Amino acid sequence: MAMKSGTFLHDATQPPKSDRILPLFSLKGRTAIVSGAGAGIGLAIAQGFAEAGANVAIWYNSNKKALEEAAQIEKDYGVKCKAYQVNVTTWETVQTAVDEIVKEFNGRLDIFVANSGIPWAYKSFLDTPTDELHKLLKINLDGTLYCAKAAGLHWRRQKQEGTTVDGKPLENYSYGSFIATSSMSGHIANIPQQQMVYNASKAAITHACKSLAVEWVGFARSNSVSPGYIKTGYIPEDAKNVFKDKIPMGREGETGELKGVYLYLASDAASYTTGTDIIVDGGYCVP
């Protein structure tokens, strides 16, 4: 942490060198890892990063279609993209996967999006078996923290040593960017579904990113994105009309409508953005 005697060190970070905005959004030559990217939001993020020039490793749990999606990303955008089956609920598995990918992807890591998560089963807290409670927290919260730690260790070393893992000069690198997928449910209590444990896990993720932004000053930025209702197939049809009544835009969001915010946070365009949470919910949380 760039802190001494309870105050932050002056000029511990630097602004980007370019005074033009569009070049700052380029991710050319950078390495990104996106967890939970076999489909849905994570896949859209990976596609957006690849379009911006990044080499992308996509993680999946059981959806083997991720292998086809990775091959398609390579074909469409001319970058390196590979899918990895990773269980984010164990620290050793996450650390090993990150280390192996860094070695394979030009010895560097620039961006990590912790997007793995599971939805709630729409049961009340009192009627939920404790094993389901722990399963959700293990994936949503523990998995996010494991990903943050594994990525942060590389970013700290890269900033200190200025080299790739194999000792080569690290080019076009300023800071690491950690982005966690939180949820507007970390800000409000959804209705009609009852999902206290899910909401609590997302609120914890948002605050963890704020805290990491302080701890990591000098070598990485940390932010979160809180999507609202997005078309991912997890929302019961009978609940849609209820929440659409509460969205000023009157509809669910498309996964592609999240690409821009993740690209911004991943890029040098967000060089002075850390410790923030961006809500993308069609206005649900506004009223």
Q: Render pLDDT for 34-46 as a digit per residue (tens, 0 to 9).
A: 999 999 999 999 9
Q: What is the pLDDT of residue 8?
A: 85
Per-residue pLDDT of the chain (287 residues), as tens digits, is 566 667 888 888 888 888 899 999 999 999 999 999 999 999 999 999 999 999 999 999 989 999 999 999 999 999 999 999 999 999 999 999 999 999 999 999 999 999 999 988 767 899 888 999 999 999 999 999 999 999 999 999 999 999 999 999 999 898 999 999 999 999 999 887 889 999 999 999 999 999 999 999 999 999 999 999 999 876 667 777 788 889 999 999 999 999 999 999 999 999 999 999 999 999 999 97
The model's pTM: 0.95
SS3 letters across 49-116: HHHCCCEEEEEECCCCHHHHHHHHHHHHHCCCEEEEECCCCCHHHHHHHHHHHHHHCCCCCCEEEECC
> Could you tell me the end-to-end alpha-carbon distance of the chain, in angstroms, rounded to an integer?
38
138 is known as an active-site residue: no
202 is known as an active-site residue: yes
- Domains in the chain (CATH in brackets) are 20-280 (3.40.50.720)
Q: The tokens of 64 are what?
A: 């083997």
183 is known as an active-site residue: yes
User: Is 185 within 8 Å of 198 (Cβ atoms)?
Assistant: yes
Q: The tokens of 123 are what?
A: 């049961």
Q: Find the catalytic residue in 116, 182, 183, 201.
A: 183
Q: Find the catalytic residue in 84, 198, 229, 262.
A: 198
Q: Find the catalytic residue in 202, 222, 262, 267.
A: 202
The pLDDT tens digits for 63-95 are: 999 999 999 999 999 999 999 999 999 999 999
